[in-house]
Homo-oligomer: A and B are copies of this chain.
Amino acid sequence: MTRLSRPLDRFYSIIPAGGIGSRLWPLSRADAPKFLHDLTGSGSTLLRGTWDRLVPLSGPDRIMVVTGRAHRAAVEAQLPELADLNVVLESEPKDSSAAIGLAAAILVRREPDVIVGSFAADHVIGDVRGFKRAVVEAVAAAEAGYIATIGITPTEPAIGFGYIHCSGTLGIEAAPGAVRVDSFVEKPDLETAQRYLDDGNYLWNGGMFISRADVLLKQLGETEPELLAGLTALAEAWDTPRRGAVVDRVWPGLKKIAIDYTVAEPAARAGRLAVVPGDFDWDDVGDFAAIAKLHAGGRKSDLAILGENARVLADASSGVVIAQSGRLISLIGVTDIVVVDTPDALLVTTSANAQRVKAVVDALKLSGRNDVL
């Protein structure tokens, strides 16, 4: 296990830091996306936590961050060690295929046999050693030519996550736990989730992809040849004075599509996708219910309070309060409540309704209220 004590050979981490996290509105919004918030109460933003988790795997010089121009300053403030060479700025958001694909295309030109791993900027993992073990095994599967993902062993019938259906070991010597991915399945209802849990061949989709960069790009090109051509043109110009001109020409036309559809699902259908079961705690903190749960530590009666200098007076109340306005917040007799108090918008809901927050954001978009989005 000496590999755990030093960065992995050939391995490069990619952190796509793009999603706003609409279900966490009004905390997360265009100018303060989810990854720039401390949702764990650890004192670190989710982005910084992701970075700290990846440094032991790839080293601080081998982590590439793909983010929007608007977030450059905030990202660099969070990650002072981040080298300019490792910053990829999106002139406009083009979803994960473009973000991860461009990073891979740039890296493969710099280092043809590089293995890349892409890890969301806004997930939470408590057991860093368990995470490392899974990545090491996924890198081994990648070395064997597979596109690898990490699936988290479910601990409950969660309805907020997608699942990976898997079967049969792949027999990769250095990745004994790696099994074949049969298919990806969308967020299930509770009954289906319970069936998945009982079945034992379903893992939570953690959205992590580890692969040789050339293998990843080949798969992407099979599904979306035009997108790959665009990314290749960008990558060829990236480390040259022509970057700006090519970005201006190519970027606007890049197809917006999630990597799940261009790489993960096609690779699964082709039998090229391996999954390493990860036996560690993980959460994509997709909504306020997840935040409440993260902080309650299993105690439903607790009230989690997030926010610097939060002034909260609570009586017979539970749930989560996110205090960002500096105002005094009083709760009386409200249970499983979610209160998000920001300077220009207030949200009051319950954990059970947390997934419906996105609908409010959609309604605000439709009514042109971009000032609070």
Tell me the A residues contacting B by CB distance below 8 Å: 26, 313, 315-316, 325, 327-334, 337, 339, 341-350, 352-353, 356-357, 359-360, 363-364, 369, 372
Contact = CB atoms under 8 A, between A and B. Distances in A.
27 contacts: A313-B363, A313-B364, A315-B359, A316-B353, A327-B342, A327-B343, A327-B344, A327-B346, A328-B344, A328-B345, A328-B346, A328-B364, A329-B346, A329-B348, A330-B346, A330-B349, A331-B348, A332-B350, A332-B353, A332-B356, A332-B360, A333-B349, A333-B350, A334-B337, A334-B349, A334-B350, A339-B348
Contacts of A333: 349-350, 352-353, 356
- What is the copy number of this chain in the assembly? 2
Given A328-B345, A339-B348, 15 more contacts: A26-B328, A313-B364, A316-B353, A327-B342, A327-B343, A327-B344, A327-B346, A329-B348, A330-B347, A330-B349, A331-B347, A331-B348, A333-B353, A333-B356, A341-B346
6 shortest A-B CB distances, which residue pairs? A333-B353, A332-B349, A328-B345, A332-B353, A330-B347, A329-B346
A290 to B, nearest CB: 16
A322 to B, nearest CB: 12
Nearest to A344: B327
